[in-house]
Structure 1
Amino acid sequence: MGRVSQAQAQENRKRVVETASRLFREQGTHVSVADLMKAAGLTHGAFYKQFASKEALIDEATTHAFEELTQRRDAGLEQHAGQREAARRALLDIYLSTEHRDNVAVGCPAAALAADMAREPGARDAHRAYTEGVSDFAEWLATEDQDGIAQLCTMVGALVLARATKGSPLSEQILTTARAALMATS
Structure 2
Amino acid sequence: MRVSKEKAAENRARILSEAGRLFRERGIAGTGVDALAEAAGLTHGSLYSQFGSKEQLAVEALAATFRRSRETHEGKDFAAFLDHYLSPRHRDAIGQGCGIAALCADMPRGASAVRSSFTGGVRGFLDSVGTKLASHRGEAETTEEERLAAAASLVGALLLARAVDDPELSDRLLAATKRQWLASPSPEVPVGPGEGQPAR
Normalised to the residue count of structure 1, the TM-score between the two structures is 0.85
Pairwise mapping of residues 9-158 of structure 1 onto structure 2 (< 5 A)?
A: 9-30=8-29, 31-76=31-76, 87-122=77-112, 124=113, 126-142=114-130, 143=134, 144=142, 147-158=146-157
Structure 2, unaligned stretches of length 5 or more?
135-141, 186-200
1:177 aligned partner: 176
Whose radius of gyration is greater, 1 or 2?
2
What's the % identity of the aligned pairs?
Answer: 40
Normalised to the residue count of structure 2, the TM-score between the two structures is 0.80
Note if contact 1:139-1:149 (Cα within 8 Å) is conserved in structure 2: no
Note if contact 2:126-2:151 (Cα within 8 Å) is conserved in structure 1: yes
Q: CA RMSD in A?
A: 1.8
Deviations 1:125-174 (A, max 9, x none): x3222212212211222234771110111110110111111553211111
Separation in 2, partners of 1:8, 1:132: 29
Structure 1, unaligned stretches of length 5 or more?
77-86
Separation in 2, partners of 1:75, 1:37: 35
Hey, which bits of structure 1, 4+ residues long, moved more than 3 A?
2-7
Separation in 2, partners of 1:75, 1:27: 30
1:159 aligned partner: 158
Separation in 2, partners of 1:167, 1:35: 31
Separation in 2, partners of 1:163, 1:35: 24
- Report the 3-state secondary structure (helix = DSSP H, G, I; strand = E; otherwise coil) of the residue aligned with 2:42: coil
Q: How many corresponding residue pairs? A: 173
Separation in 1, partners of 2:50, 2:27: 21
